[in-house]
Amino acid sequence: MFTALSVLIVSGTQAQDAAEGRKIFKEKCTSCHALDRDLIGPALQTVVPTKSEAFLLKWINNAPAFIASGDKEAVEASKFNPNAEMTAFPSLTPEQIKSILAYVKAGEPKKVDAAGTGGGGSDEVSSFSIAGVVAVILISIVILVILGRAIKMLERLILQKQGVEIIEEEKVSMVAGIGQLFKNKKFVFFFILCLITFLGSWGWMGMWNTGVNTGYQPTQPIKFSHELHAGTNQIDCQYCHAGAFESRNATIPSLNVCMNCHKSVQARDNHDGNISPEIQKIYNALGYDADKMTYDKTKEKPIEWVQVHNLPDFAYFNHSQHVVVAEEAIRKEKGLKPNEPVCFACHGPVNTMEEIYQYSPLTMKWCINCHKDTKLEVKDNAFYTKIIEAHEKIKKGEKITPAALGGMECGKCHY
């Protein structure tokens, strides 16, 4: 049992390391690296196995300094892309770097399909833990059976030495043997204890992951590629999701926004002179005739997009508060580059997603941890400047109204 538990704990720790490494990798590495293909940097699953851990720790922590030291291996590694310098990550601890390496070796976990509601990485750890509990129970039963046989054998030897005649037991069927086993009070107690432990673990893990949809990727009515639009074409997030910078909701862009480009961009070259089937779906929804360039209002119908990111009704989240007021603070905490939108902090590297999926768990714990770790940038921030001015008035005993504390903002009353 001790050996089984040791293996379970070590394996579980490694699984958690890979999950943590995936999170750090998505936050800091995906703009330059992919696991299985070359981008600005090399495919990591090809390169990492060829390097020692000591080298990778130094390289990831501060590659420019490592190269400047004249290390031959570091200088050689820098030749992969002479036009791009590896970013230094001095804030990463050796443990965090090892977690990234564990994720690179393990690879990307399988995403939840459209019908799934499971919880991505957390679900994998939960399943592994339950399997571990089952394994420990089975191993314990085997050990008990072996010990029971050993005790009987020793008893027979003792009785033989004492000259006591031993009556051979009749062989019984497996069913009868199991029945006799359950007459043993110690075995029954142990069996019930194991059953309670298993059911308790299974129930706890199930409840813990209820509503956690990390990796959820539903099938959408139109195959809209964020990788093509936000990545290849570098369209700013705000162009389509203007609400994220102005209100609580990010908003789904109207089809008129799509038509700003797709009235002329029809991808005919890739479809033997015909309009792309996905673009045609936009035209159908608007009742648009591409040949006549006219709209028929009677043929209009909405696109039934499937919502990916869902919060409970009792949870209030304001996009503008985060992407405008707290933008600089979030950027520093998540290590985002100047050319990366603040949206990446929660939604992940959207510019690499062929189809959008839920990147972060969006749990209360996840939000609280971010609020506990992020350092607010109050300098030259109009929101906090107003708060400081209000506090100064309070100190002086001057009149202060709710309006001075943001009481006139629409979101205070209208959800």
CA distance 97 to 63: 13
Q: What are phi and psi of 365, to 5 degrees?
A: -60, -40
Distance from C-alpha of 258 to C-alpha of 281, rounded to nearest angstrom: 11
pLDDT at 367: 92
How far apart, in whole angstroms, are the C-alpha atoms of residue 40 and residue 270?
Answer: 27
Q: Which token pair is 150?
A: 């050993």
pLDDT recorded at residue 330: 92
Tens digit of pLDDT for each residue in 273-307? Answer: 899 999 999 999 999 999 999 999 999 999 999 99
DSSP lists the bridge partners of residue 295 as: 288
Tell me the fold of 13-106: Cytochrome Bc1 Complex; Chain D, domain 2 (1.10.760)
Return the DSSP state at 384: H
Per-residue pLDDT for the chain (415 aa), expressed as one digit of tens each? Answer: 555 555 555 555 555 588 888 888 877 887 788 888 887 888 898 889 999 999 999 999 898 888 989 999 988 988 888 877 888 888 888 888 998 998 898 887 665 444 444 444 444 445 556 677 777 778 877 887 788 788 888 888 888 888 777 666 666 566 776 777 778 888 888 889 888 988 988 888 888 888 888 899 999 999 999 999 999 899 999 999 988 988 888 889 999 999 999 999 998 888 888 999 999 999 999 999 999 999 999 999 999 999 999 888 888 899 998 998 889 899 988 888 888 999 999 999 999 999 999 999 999 989 999 999 898 878 787 778 888 888 899 999 998 888 887 778 776 777 6
pLDDT at 216: 93
- Report the SS3 class of residue 331: helix
Please report, for the chain, the start and end positions of each structural domain, with discontinuous segments joined by +: 13-106, 120-208, 327-412
- Cβ neighbors of 288 (< 8 A, separation 6 or more) are 259, 282, 294, 295, 296
Helices and strands of the chain, counted as H and E runs: 17, 2
Can you tell me the distance from the alpha carbon of 92 to that of 98, in angstroms, rounded to the nearest whole number?
Answer: 10
Q: Are 212 and 119 in contact (CB under 8 A)?
A: yes
pLDDT in tens, 392-405: 999 999 988 888 87
Query: How far apart, in whole angstroms, are the C-alpha atoms of residue 385 and residue 238?
Result: 26
Give the C-alpha separation, 244 to 250, whole Å. 4
Alpha-carbon span 179 to 184, nearest angstrom: 9
Q: Which residues pair with 14 in a beta bridge?
A: none
- Name the token pair of 346: 């929660």
